[in-house]
Structure 1
Amino acid sequence: MKSQTVSINDDDAFITLLSVETNEPFHVDLLHFRLVMGTLAIDNEDLDSDIYLALGLKRLGKGAIGTPRILTLLSSLLEKSVQKNEMQIETVSAKVNIAIFHGLRVPTISIRQYIDRIFKYARCSPSCFLVAYIYLDRFGQQTDVLLTSRNVHRLLITSVMVAAKFIDDTYFNNAYYARVGGISTAELNRLEMKFLLSLDFRLQVSINTFQRYCLQLQKEGNQVERPIRACGIKESWPSKSDTQCAPTIAR
């Protein structure tokens, strides 16, 4: 790797590297850095790959603004999955939920708003959302549970929290995540344990798996890019001074 470590910003969960060739700093998500450093087969081209930049897992400078693109793509993918599953449920007898994750009512907050809220207040690294999606996929394979509008919010807050604990250097406790997610601490504790047991505690994500899911999200992005731009939504990174966390609902 033709770069050397300069500093680590725990607030953003990004590591700053200094290019030996250009002497210019660039920023990489801590998870991606750990994966690269722990895999001998990864070279500098992988570290500088456009896909990580496109998904918001890598930034070119501290002045970069905007919500990581991975949040938009993930919300779009989950929304499509929920719509497809609920259409399937209407026509066939399908196993749709594990009772503990199934809410009594559909939350009024959308998947996109919920993901943005988690990112804003939990301040976990963008890679947490990709790893959380990998966990959700594993959860579905292990349990045959389908994502629906009644369980997706609980599964999201649980999977992101578990991912943050596993890959980030710093993270908030369950009580804080419960407040962000709009559920009680006791309930989130139960959700976390059920989620981990369903995954058989398999939380490790290989570099090949990480890259495969990145490509999947990038492919999704190519399909939704025009509609997103047409909306004209102006996005920005959460302010570090914005520490207030008002309760939401996931009931």
Structure 2
Amino acid sequence: MTTTQSFDHLTLQAFSLALLQLEEPPTGTLQEAVQQIRNDITHQDMGAAAARIRTLDRQYHQSRLYQLYDQEYKILSQQYNTQEKAKSLLHMNGAATAILSLDAIAPGLIAAEDIKASAKNMLKRIQPKQQQASTETQAYVRSLQRAVEIADQPAITILKAIENRPLTLKDLPYFVNLSFEQAQVTVQDLWQKGYIDRTTSNLLHNIFPTLGRQRRKKEPIDPSQTYLTLTSKGYFFLHPFITLKTQGRRIV
């Protein structure tokens, strides 16, 4: 693998982390540019995808997406110690594992329909073997974990607010530090995935969110009239470890 290809991998890694943290989906010509990058990845042309990412600087330097990308690129470069170390990736022990991360994981996340869900699934697969990986792969996994936590934060903030009291979408910006647009995107995602539902919903739909999935896809959320509450899925997302004591034994 050439030096250029090694830097292409770093570019794709940084861009995957930026997309994961983006508060709102890109729109307009930036959305088209991102789709072109995804098309390149679909056609296995990683060099073209990386080149397109680097050219975002020309037209979208002030965009949130490019700023996140630039930030993540610098962080990854520092974690790899120097850019020269990234150039010599293939000449190190454990290089095969590093290439797996650089060459397969990041492009897969960029092309994913749901990047956050894909990142979480990928982390579940990687983490048991993380200690066996090269330092470069471990650096990317750490960055991926951090990016997922950042990406989850708006959802956690909204779920906590709704747990305290039923709220409408219009109410939420007054209770959480998010714009209406950010809250709208996050609420729609939580709604579609069954973490929240309307307070007037069937009790069974709150306990078993999958039962109301088709209804939620068809029913719009009225910003000022639809009062939202947690489903059981949303509750256990906030409180994943429930401890029960049964006959002196603790069940987690």
TM bucket by the smaller chain? under 0.3
Flag the structure with larger Rg.
Answer: 2
Query: Which one has a larger percent helix, Structure 1 or Structure 2?
Result: 2
